[in-house]
Structure 1
Amino acid sequence: MMRKWVSCILFVAVLTASIGIVSAASGQEEQEVWMLHEVVSIEEVDAFLEVVSSDPVPLDRTVHKRFRIAMIFPSLDLSDAWFSGWMGMEGRLKELGILYELTTMGGGHADHALQVSHIDLAIAQRYDYVIIAPTELFVQKAGIQRMIEAGIKVIVWNNNTPFVEWGRERYPDGLQPLAWVGFDHGYGGNMMGEYALTRLEPGSQVAIMHGIPGITTQLRGGIARDIMKAAGHEIVYEHHADWDKT
């Protein structure tokens, strides 16, 4: 039976087509990731939201083990989202009385190499759990897979697009991590595009400044761009600013 992945954000039944690539051999688009609506139902998302928003339920047994957890962030300098998630997780662990030892590792939003070194360290230190917010999902795919194959329970944060190649089961029957948790970037792109339509004059010229190249930009900026183009606006310029340039 297919295991489900959960996401702590609103569910949208109709989104853009799944991100894919064109095969040079066949000329056909090959789906690389599943979108949120392909792996969970709105009822499952609602049930998940209810659980994580409710008061903690005491454990029915005593757990003496102290779990070793690593949280790997892109950075803590641009948004308090990472810090809020960190504080929320620690708060719930304390409420449940779970013993833990937490290590945090941060870097730059576009410093892919540094995050690879953090992944290497997590594997070498044999953490029980790793919560990773990838600098870019496809860039860190191999590293995430190495952690999973090393027996670490991995939670991929800020992404909810499981890799099709990893199958439908968690390791060792497949390569899916323990969970995918995060904002639905496709939904966010749809919101941005629809909002822009309420602000733009007919036939406007639009320039778009993205963060870093990757699936998040494809879903956020790409969907917003397509909505504006479909409404008759002209996209005159696009640029990836790596979160640190204007």
Structure 2
Amino acid sequence: MISSSVLADLHLKEYWMVDEFFKANPEQLERSEAFNLRVQSQPKRLINNTDSARILVIYPGLQTSDYWRRSIHAFEHRLKQLGIRYQLDVHFTKPGSDLNLQAKLLTQSLGDTTDYLVFTLDAIKHQKLIEQVKHQTQTKIILQNITTPLRAFSKQQPFLYVGFDHAIGTQLLVQEYQTRFPQGANYGILFGTQGYVSKIRGGLFESQMRAAHNFHLKDSYYVDFDRAKAKAATLQLIKDHHQPDASADTNAGTHTNKLDFIYATSTDIALGALDALKELGLEQDIQINGWGGGSSELNSLKAKELSFTVMRMNDDNGVAMAEAIGLDLLGKSDQVPTIYSGSFRLVDQTIKPKQLNRFESRAFRYSNLSSETH
């Protein structure tokens, strides 16, 4: 469990961490485990579903990462398998920005005509928009890519928080870097935008590494989940902090003027950092992780460029959203948990092709049915 002091340092006390929430609400853990069985099982077609569900989706999907697009494909496939009639209105915006556009889309599209809103929460303005929807409409809110309920919503939580817990994924990456560098290392961090995701993925990583022995953060940058900005930041990071011929510091167990790895907090950031390393011919000298394990990251792993990643069992989140709506339409919303957090697999360059194929078949079991994700 993440300590309260760490949460305070990261300014995350306003959120319930997953394990903390389940400990305080044991009935939610039972409900989540039962719900996960539905997500992992073959779909059971609904009976007497005559109404059409009106669904509005606003996603930060204008990025290289295919997470959001795959989520939509999995969501729709499962809705159809469940026999749910639906009207789907999807809008993609830029990650970490376009907040005014998101507000405009909500105002124009919601009214009293939307049954379900699928949105995200990464900035304070998102919280205000969600509160506005909660207070002014009967729309049920599904928050994607966040699995930590806001304490401010108290007993009036959104219909569902769904995704892959950022803290769990980050802990896996912390453990992998500490295993790879048992004597410590010099590293840099590339954050996204200044918001929730960067705090969990980047801030928690920094906190955990600071507590470890001989891990030295040389510099960090906010790059707005933008590939070009990540490349530029990496070039500057290497210019300022990487002299590969520097002598070893035997006390620290690392080279004082040599970067060992760069921690990336998203797919686009990882690919931008790799662009810089390849330009400088350093892709074999400095390790870089991925975050999410989508197609572009896996291709980079196969090419022996990306060092490793945490791979989300991607389509489970879209399936979970469809199953939650199905239960709600059947009048069984009491079976829908407040949180659904999917699972990860750590994947590196040594993984056997057959094993990776098994992971891909599971993670993309619906979204690979669409040619749009290839």
TM-score over 0.5 (shorter chain): yes
Distance 1:90 1:82 in 2: 13
Aligned to 1:5: none
1 CA distance for matches of 2:3 and 2:67? 25
Between the aligned partners of 1:114 and 1:198, the Cα distance in structure 2 is: 43
Is the alpha carbon distance of 1:158 and 1:197 closer, same or farther for their aligned partners in structure 2, counting shifts above 3 Å?
same
Residues 154-175 of structure 1 deviation map (CA, whole Å, 9 limit, x = unaligned) = 100110111111112xxxxx3x
Distance 2:165 2:85 in 1: 31
CA contact under 8 A between 1:159 and 1:181: conserved in structure 2?
A: yes
Whether 2:173 is the aligned partner of 1:195: answer no
Amino acid at match of 2:102: Q
Q: Distance in 2 between matches of 1:139 and 1:202?
A: 42
Change (3 A) 1:72 1:227: same
Contact 1:16-1:223 within 8 A present in 2 as well = no
Distance of 2:85 and 2:73 partners within structure 1: 16
Equivalent in the alignment of 1:157: 144
| In structure 2, distance between residues paired with 1:243 and 1:53 | 31
Distance between the aligned counterparts of 2:71 and 2:12, measured in 1?
A: 34
CA gap of 1:21–1:200, structure 2 versus 1, over 3 A, is closer
Shift, 1:238, TM fit = 1.1
Distance 1:44 1:128, change over 3 A: closer
Gaps of 5+ in 1: 1-13, 23-28, 169-173
Task: Find the structure with the greater CA-based Rg.
Answer: 2
Quickly say closer, same or farther: Cα 1:30–1:186, change in 2 above 3 A: closer
The structure 1 residue matched to 2:120, chosen from 133, 150, 153, is: 133
Among candidates 80, 86, 97, match of residue 83 of structure 2: 97
Amino acid at match of 1:155: I
* Preserved CA contact (<8 Å) 2:188 2:219: yes
8 Å contact kept, 1:20–1:32? no
CA-CA distance at 1:137 after TM superposition:
4.2
Task: Tell me, yes or no, if structure 1 residue 117 matches structure 2 residue 99.
Answer: no
Q: CA deviation at 1:16?
A: 4.3
Q: State the Cα deviation string for residues 32-83 of structure 1 (Å, max 9, x = none).
A: 11111122355544322211111112223x2222111011101243211111
Within 5 Å, which residues of 2 pair with 1:32-51? 32-40=14-22, 43-51=30-38
Deviation, 1:126, is 2.8
CA contact (8 A) 2:120 2:126 kept: no
Unaligned runs of 5+ in 2: 231-374
**Counterpart residue type for residue 82 of structure 2:** L
Tell me which of 173, 186, 191 is aligned to 1:210.
191
Could you say what secondary structure the match of 2:209 adopts? helix
Letter in 1 for 2:17: M
Taking the aligned partners of 1:20 and 1:164, their CA distance within structure 2 comes to 14
Give the drift of 1:203: 4.2
Structure with more of its chain in helix, by fraction: 2
Native 8 Å contact 1:75 1:109 kept in 2: yes
Is 1:146 aligned to 2:132, yes or no? yes
Name the amino acid aligned to 1:33: Y
User: 2:164 aligned to 174, 183, 191, which one?
Assistant: 183
1:223-234 aligned at under 5 Å gives the runs 223-231=204-212, 232-234=214-216
Give me the identity figure in percent.
28
Residues 86 and 130 of structure 1, relative CA distance in 2, 3 Å threshold: same
**Which of residues 65, 69, 75 in structure 2 aligns to 1:83?**
69
| Distance of aligned partners of 1:243 and 1:152 in 2 relative to their CA distance in 1, 3 Å threshold | same
Could you state the TM-score of these two structures normalised by the residue count of structure 2?
0.54
Pick which of 212-221 and 96-105 moved more.
212-221
Q: Which moved more, 1:227-236 or 1:179-188?
A: 227-236
Normalising by structure 1, we get a TM-score of 0.81
